[in-house]
Structure 1
Amino acid sequence: MKNYLKLPVMLLVLFSACKDAKKRKDKAEGVAVVKLKTHDQQLLALKDTAQAKLHIFLDSLKPHALDSNYRFLVKSDFEEGSSHEHMWSVVYKYAGGKFTGIFADSAVYLKNIKMGDHVLINQKDVEDWAIYDYKRNTDMGNFSDKYLRSKQGK
C-alpha cells in the first residue's frame, strides 16, 4: 500500500517543482545571469556553510521527503563541455551518499538538461540547499541567495 502512495506524491512534487520553476522563469525573463569567477571566495565559503549544515537538511528529509507540506532542494553544478551552471533540483530521496530528484531550474547555456529531468546528485557536490515548509510558512538554508542577488547586474 505504501508504494501506491509514493507515485502520486512524487508526481505532485514534480508538478509543483515544474510549475514553480516556470513561474520563476516567467518573472526572471529580464534578470541577468550572475557570472562569478570560478573560485569566488565568498561563494565557496557559502558552499562550506551549506555542507557543514547538511545534517539539518538530511534530518528533515528523512521523515518528510514525500510530504507535500515540504519541498527539499539542492543546488549543484551541472556541466556540458566547458560550460557550467549552478542550478536547483527538488530532491525526495537520499541513499548511498546521493540525492535522487528532479531538475527544477531553467538552464541558460546548457542544452543537455531540461526541467523535469531525473537527477542524481552526490552529497559532496551540494553547493547549497533549501527546505520550504508550507505548513508553517518557513524556509531554511538557501545560504547563497543574498550574495547572488547582490551580484546581479554587476
Structure 2
Amino acid sequence: MKRTLFTFGVIFLLVTSCNQNSKSKTIREGEPDVYNINSSDSKMNEAIKNAKKSFDLFQNALTSKNPDFEYFSIKQKFDTPQGGEHIWVQDIRFVNSQFVGIIGNEPVNTNEVSLGDTITIDKNKISDWMYFDKGITRGGFTIKVLRDQMTEEEQKSFDLESGLLFE
C-alpha cells in the first residue's frame, strides 16, 4: 500500500497545463511538480488522441473485475482562462454507467475542483487513462510523452522513484 501511494504521488507530478507558454516545469513546495505543455504540442496531442481512441480498453479492464487489474486513474481536462489543466483522477469506479473518482492532486490553474473532491468524469474531456496489469502500466500515454523528453539520467531516476513499468 505504501508503494502504491508513493507511485501515485510521482504520477501526479505529471499534470499538464495546456496554455500559451512553451514547455516548462513549475516546482511547488510540498506539492508535485507541474509540467506546462503548449496546447499545440503535437506529441502530447497525439498521446491524448490515442488515449481517447483506446478508452474502451480501460473501460473493459475496469468492469472486468480481473484481480490482476488495479489502481485505475483517468486524466481529465478542466477549462481555465489559460486554456486548460489536465488533472489525474484516481480510485475510479463505474457507477450507474458513469466513471466516478477522486481528484488526486492540488490544481494549479482551476478552481473548478480541489484535491480530494469526488467527481463524475466528463467523457468528452478525458485526456489519458492508466491502470496496472500485474504491475505493468497500461495506458499512461501522456506520461510516456513526458518521460521520452527526459534525459537518460532523468528517466532512470523517474523509473526508480515511480515504480512504473511500461512495455
- Distance in 2, Cα, partners of 1:115 & 1:20: 16
Distance 1:95 1:51, change over 3 A: farther
| Structure 1: runs of 5 or more not aligned | 1-11
| Structure 2: runs of 5 or more not aligned | 14-26, 152-167
Q: Hey, which bits of structure 1, 4+ residues long, moved more than 4 A?
A: 19-23, 28-32, 80-83
Q: Aligned runs of 1:21-32 on 2, under 5 Å?
A: 23-24=9-10, 29=28, 32=33
Q: Which residue of 1 aligns with 2:138?
A: 140
- Distance in 1, Cα, partners of 2:8 & 2:114: 12
Q: Percent identity?
A: 20
RMSD: 3.4
Give the drift of 1:72: 0.8
Q: TM-score, normalised by structure 1?
A: 0.67
Distance 1:120 1:140, change over 3 A: same
Distance 1:128 1:20, change over 3 A: same
Higher strand proportion (structure 1 or 2): 2
Q: Which residue of 2 aligns with 1:34?
A: 35
Which residue identity lines up with residue 39 of structure 1 in the other structure? S
Higher helix proportion (structure 1 or 2): 1
1:21, 1:105 within 8 Å by CA — same for their partners in 2?
Answer: no
Give the drift of 1:39: 2.6
Give the drift of 1:80: 4.3
1:83, 1:110 within 8 Å by CA — same for their partners in 2?
Answer: no
Secondary structure of the 1:34 match is strand
Q: Which residue of 1 aligns with 2:121?
A: 121
- More deviation in 34-43 or 76-85? 76-85
For CA contacts below 8 A with separation 6 or more, give which structure has more relative contact order.
1
Q: How many aligned positions are there? A: 132
Q: Which residue of 1 aligns with 2:160?
A: none
Distance 1:151 1:139, change over 3 A: closer
- Distance in 2, Cα, partners of 1:20 & 1:32: 14
Secondary structure of the 2:74 match is strand
Q: TM-score, normalised by structure 2?
A: 0.62
Q: Which residue of 2 aligns with 1:6?
A: none
- Deviation per CA, 1:25-60: give whole Å up to 9, x if none: 79x757753222223222111111111111110111
